[in-house]
Structure 1
Amino acid sequence: MNSTLKIDQELFCEMMKFYGETLNLPPLSAKIYTYLIFDFEKKGICFEEFVEVFSASKSSVSSNLNLLLNADLILDFNKFNERKRFFTINENYIQVRFTTIISRLKKEVAILDKLNAYRNCSEEHHIQRFENYKSLLNKNIQNIEETLPKI
């Protein structure tokens, strides 16, 4: 069995590298995740196809699929009257990803406020720099919060 998906190899490699770095994924997980992105019809890809397409061991594919499932990056399902599990991209992952980003940014703002209070600096240059950085973080939080419901 060859790939059931039509894939542009150059784009696949670029996406695999990007998602591997952005989502902090090991190489096989990044390959699986990227491969599932090319399942535009969301039919799902079975376990055996991953093993064959990536020439990987069953245990490697299994552990990487579990990593992606636990990170809510992908979903699994069974088709009616079939025992095989199929996998697809979690369409809600954008919400999960950006909610996490918002949380981290808010946490950084809170930590910066505590650090600034502890430092108790009166130099105008440092105060302005701190306020500019904090403003940048808050604008990004606001932008993501306003845009996320539209996605």
Structure 2
Amino acid sequence: MSKKTVFIQGAISSEFIAQSIAKHQGKHSIGAHNIFLGQVRADVHGDTKVKAIEYTAYEEMANEKLDAIREKAFAKYDLVCMHIYHSLGVVEVGEVCLFVFVSATRRKQVYEATESIVNWIKEDVPIFGKELFENEESTWKVNTL
């Protein structure tokens, strides 16, 4: 398996997502795709609201963990292909920060694989988000499943 580019500076655009989908139309062994899009929420903490999240990562370790997730996903599920993209830098509320795209011959595999992959990313990959608030304060985000 070749190493894939995972990290994207800033938000993941709708155009990027659409292009990724379009690239798979020529792969005729695929019968199902599943997509997970993680979007920045306007959470409220106390009396202030999140306006963005600034993502950082320990990239070398994150890439190793993501490679391990890719290998585990292909070993556990009958996938044709899978892609993971995550933002670095500031991503505003309403913008996409995580894009997981899974393809297989049958739909059951893509549903199960997508949920596992997203959970493995949240549990194992050193990607960190600092919530930026409207009042200019910030705090580190804690991942939840």
Which TM-score applies when normalising by structure 2?
A: 0.27
Counting strand residues as a fraction of each chain, which structure ranks higher?
A: 2
Counting helix residues as a fraction of each chain, which structure ranks higher?
A: 1
> Which entry has the higher C-alpha Rg, 1 or 2?
1
